[in-house]
Amino acid sequence: METVPAMAAPSLDHIRALDAADPLAPARAHFALPPGVIYLDGNSLGALPVGTAARVADTVQREWGSGLIGSWNSADWIGAPQRLGARIAGLIGAAPDEVLVADSTSVNLYKLLAAAIMAQPGRRTVLTEPGNFPTDLYMVQGLAQLVPGLRIRQAEREAIIDAIDDDVAVVMLTQVHYKTGHRLDLATVTAAAHARGALMLWDLSHSAGAIAVDLNTAGGDLAVGCGYKYLNGGPGAPAYLYVAKRLQDRLQTPLAGWMGHARPFDFDDDYAPAAGIARFGCGTPAIVALAALDAGLDTFDGIDRTALYAKGQALADLFINVVEAGDTGIALVTPRDPAQRGSHVSFACDQGFAVVQCLIARGVIGDFRAPNVMRFGFAPLYLTYADVWHAAQALVDVLHTRAWDRPAFKLRGKVT
């Protein structure tokens, strides 16, 4: 995957000059990062925005405490899934009424996969890739138990376009791979799916807020994504789903809950789907969690998106260059070409788990994905060039000194 040669590591003086000239530097003040920590895991759980605690407290104390049940109307709790969806639409190149915040990414995958299959009578295949994020694979495996004759076919991402045939109802892929960081071109793959009459379902969990995503320009059909990664919505934040306007009234969710009903407060015995994106709602929205997600989305207000995405790539380049100049022998897994990657960088290392734990003990937080991948995410809103330079130097030092080789760094918790 390595297409561009490694460059020499820049000096710390050069790094300080980059930070001094960074137009996004003020955004860091919108995050409550602990002192002494360099946080390279915003691709897994975004950092806490300064505004979140007050927003959640207001929702709990004023809206819930004083407003009680009246807040469904007076605070427009009932409109929150569409209101927040419209905000996320701005980050993924969708129209405001094409995105809904609801449920988890897993549940949204299930809803849109099933909806796509029902809309494609005569086609029985879901095409995906081996090594896709596990929940994406598990959701389609679960669906296959329920839908007679549904076939799951897998092709490596390099071969995915050639694997689309006339039996494929839906192609389901994660745009930026959670482990390798490899990025697929949204428009090219979507066009290839359409050329064979298939629908395209994208998981944008590692894309939104980190790289430019333009679903409408790409002719996108369906997409889902997490609220807790680059969108900074907090642990377990509600997820989002996107359905292109032209498909909304053709598709039917398999989870026909009352919140997707045309008139939920008529309390009809029979389900009648709401018009538009609202039909993809299911149960009562998690209002306190939505308040936290709303505060997370505030961190993108007034941010120049072009500068944001360019900084993410520059931080990743810097990390790669400094680590490789350290001559540690670990192998870059992520494409070197910024156009082919998201905003995280992975290195393969057999001792990766212990190395990451050792780095965490030094205040550099990355993560590990079995069997041997060390992952480092570059959230451009709150990282400085100096952070990334120091983190890369720390990684090099940990590898050269074998500081990772202690029993304490080899103990695995439930979450890695």
Q: Which residues are catalytic?
A: 133, 203, 228-229, 375
Distance CA 138, CA 154 (A): 13
Residue 375 in tokens? 């992952």
Which of 64, 104, 274, 314 is the binder for ligand PLP (CB under 6 A)?
A: 104
Give 309-361 as a DSSP string: HHHHHHHHHHHHHHHHHTT--PEE-S-SSGGGB-SEEEEE-TTHHHHHHHHHH
Q: How near is the Cβ of 113 to ligand PLP at its closest, in Å?
A: 13
Please tell me whether residue 205 binds ligand PLP under the rule CB under 6 A: yes
The interface region with ligand PLP, picked from 4-12, 100-108, 112-120, 306-314 by CB under 6 A, is: 100-108
Q: How near is the Cβ of 280 to ligand PLP at its closest, in Å?
A: 15
The interface region with ligand PLP, picked from 98-106, 293-301, 305-313, 325-333 by CB under 6 A, is: 98-106
3 state SS of 242: strand
Please name the residue that has the structure tokens 């156009």: 339
Contacting ligand PLP within 25-84 (CB under 6 A): none
Distance CA 305, CA 286 (A): 29
The interface region with ligand PLP, picked from 67-75, 203-211, 316-324, 399-407 by CB under 6 A, is: 203-211
Which of 135, 216, 372, 393 is the binder for ligand PLP (CB under 6 A)?
A: 135
Q: Which lies closer to ligand PLP via its Cβ, residue 71 or residue 175?
A: 175
Please tell me whether residue 133 binds ligand PLP under the rule CB under 6 A: yes
Q: Which lies closer to ligand PLP via its Cβ, residue 104 or residue 393?
A: 104
Q: Which lies closer to ligand PLP via its Cβ, residue 89 or residue 204?
A: 204
The interface region with ligand PLP, picked from 145-153, 199-207, 275-283, 378-386 by CB under 6 A, is: 199-207
Please name the residue that has the structure tokens 């009648």: 272
In this structure, how many other beta carbons lie within 10 angstroms of the beta carbon of residue 270?
Answer: 5
Q: Which lies closer to ligand PLP via its Cβ, residue 203 or residue 221?
A: 203
Residue 201 near residue 189, CB atoms below 8 Å: no
Distance CA 109, CA 136 (A): 7
Which of 106, 125, 180, 253 is the binder for ligand PLP (CB under 6 A)?
A: 106
Contacting ligand PLP within 316-375 (CB under 6 A): none
Q: Which lies closer to ligand PLP via its Cβ, residue 292 or residue 398?
A: 292
CA 264 from centroid of its chain's CA atoms = 31
Residue 113 near residue 140, CB atoms below 8 Å: yes
Which of 52, 82, 105, 207 is the binder for ligand PLP (CB under 6 A)?
A: 105
Which of 71, 174, 248, 313 is the binder for ligand PLP (CB under 6 A)?
A: 174
CA 77 from centroid of its chain's CA atoms = 25
Please tell me whether residue 226 binds ligand PLP under the rule CB under 6 A: yes
3 state SS of 110: helix
| Whole-number Cα distances in Å, 224 to 90, 334, 381 | 14, 23, 22
Q: How near is the Cβ of 323 to ligand PLP at its closest, in Å?
A: 23
Closest CA to 138 of 119, 110, 170: 110
Residue 224 near residue 94, CB atoms below 8 Å: no
Please tell me whether residue 203 binds ligand PLP under the rule CB under 6 A: yes
Please tell me whether residue 178 binds ligand PLP under the rule CB under 6 A: yes
Q: How near is the Cβ of 104 to ligand PLP at its closest, in Å?
A: 3
Q: How near is the Cβ of 92 to ligand PLP at its closest, in Å?
A: 14
Residue 351 near residue 404, CB atoms below 8 Å: yes
Residue 386 near residue 380, CB atoms below 8 Å: no
Number of residues that bind ligand PLP (CB under 6 A): 13
- Provide the terminal-to-terminal Cα distance of the chain, rounded to the nearest Å: 26
Question: Where along the sequence are the contacts to ligand PLP (CB under 6 A)?
Answer: 104-106, 133, 135-136, 174, 178, 203, 205-206, 226, 239
